[in-house]
Amino acid sequence: MISKRQFLVSATLATTAIWGMAMAPVANAADQVVRIGWLRGPNDITLAKSRGTLEKALADKGIKVEWAGPFPAAAPAFEALNAGSIDITAGSSTSAIAALAAKIPLVVFGYQKMAAGSEGIVVKTDSKIASIKDLAGKKVAVNRGGTGEYLLMRGLETNGVDPKSVERIYLSPSDSGPSFVQGHVDAWATWDPFLTIAEKAYDGKVVADGGAIKSDNAVVLVASKAFATGKADQLQAIFDVLKADNAWSIEHKTEAGAIWAKEMNVPADLATKIGENNAVPTRAVTKADIAQIGQVAEWYAKSGIIPALPDVAAGVVTLK
């Protein structure tokens, strides 16, 4: 179960190394400045940062873009948003649910259903673990309250495995890799680029991808509630650019994968697979998407991952 204090403490620890150089104090933020937190992940914001599209489009409107990061995962980015240090970022719908449950004042404004191949549970190629059922009695690395924990718990439920029989080892994505390589954990529930890295560089094999797990996870674009309320026109302008970058990535998956690989500091030979897995459509949040996020939130609450069910509908803003 994750409380607001646990969420904020873990996020703060994860961001300590970059806080001083990446964050701009709220008092220094001009009215026509948008502060965007980017993650080392294959999403539309990372693509826009690399291509310079936001700066070009917003300059005509007298809006300056300031970048903060890179953040290792969604939780520390959401903490920066909660602290008022950034206005916009990205993450998974599962991480957004945990943040909403922890009363982080954010709203989701973009939705991108994850492709099955972009998330999964991976083990070493010489492991005797051949299916999720074989995880009973094993240790699995997950990030608390985020995609990793969701994938593991959802996979166990889908396959009728008692979650109490599997030990969840709570680690950040950057710490999970070394633990996986050194054999401190038996498996790793994760997402791209970490999943592709585990396969290609860490001698891993995927025992269940998002499809087999029956994952309903998505990448979401997130803004602070204050920014979405006070600068709705700027948010729409930013979303228009991100949608254009997303459309470009779908038409140029290999090129997009190469950009993501470079921004994430991963080997260039992973670019093709990263592009194929992650260049999928982004759209404004629909009623069906809200219902989908709500179902995952209900499952989170029932599974004890979050202490109470958040108001998902109140944590969404509908754009064009």
Q: Are 80 and 257 in contact (CB under 8 A)?
A: no
**Hunting for tokens 């259903």 — which residue is that?**
113
Distance CA 318, CA 210 (A): 27
Instruction: State the sign of the Cα–Cα–Cα–Cα dihedral 79, 80, 83, 84.
Output: negative
Residue 31 is predicted with a pLDDT of 62
**DSSP string for residues in 132-150:** GGGGTT-EEEE-TTSHHHH
Q: Which fold has domain 116-213?
A: D-Maltodextrin-Binding Protein; domain 2 (3.40.190)
Exposure string over 148-167, b if 16+ CB within 10 A, otherwise e = bbbbbbbbbbebebeeeebe
Give the C-alpha distances (Å, rounded to integers) separating 106 from 13, 62, 275: 20, 25, 28
Distance CA 43, CA 122 (A): 22
Q: Kindly report the pTM of this predicted structure.
A: 0.83
What are the structure tokens assigned to 168, written together? 């969840």
Q: Which of 79, 66, 53 is nearest to 22 (CA)?
A: 66
Q: CA-based angle 191:34:94, to the nearest 5?
A: 25
Domain ranges of the chain: 4-114+217-315, 116-213
Residue 316 is predicted with a pLDDT of 97
Residue 305 is predicted with a pLDDT of 87
**Hunting for tokens 């709500």 — which residue is that?**
294
To the nearest 10°, report the CA torsion of 31, 37, 42, 44.
-10
Residue 72 is predicted with a pLDDT of 84
Residue 60 is predicted with a pLDDT of 87
Mean pLDDT in runs of 10 for the chain (320 residues)? 50 42 41 92 96 95 95 92 97 94 97 95 97 97 91 95 97 93 97 92 96 95 97 96 98 97 92 94 97 94 91 96
| 4-114+217-315 and 116-213, same CATH topology | yes
Distance CA 101, CA 28 (A): 30
Please state the CATH superfamily assignment of the domain spanning residues 4-114+217-315 in this structure. Answer: Periplasmic binding protein-like II (3.40.190.10)
HSE (CB half, 13 Å, CA atoms) of 223?
Answer: 23
Residue 69 backbone dihedrals phi, psi, to 5 degrees: 130, -160
**Beta-bridge partner residues of 34:** 65
Q: CA-based angle 270:272:277, to the nearest 5?
A: 95
Contacts of 53 (CB under 8 A, 6+ apart): 241, 244, 245
Residue 3 is predicted with a pLDDT of 52
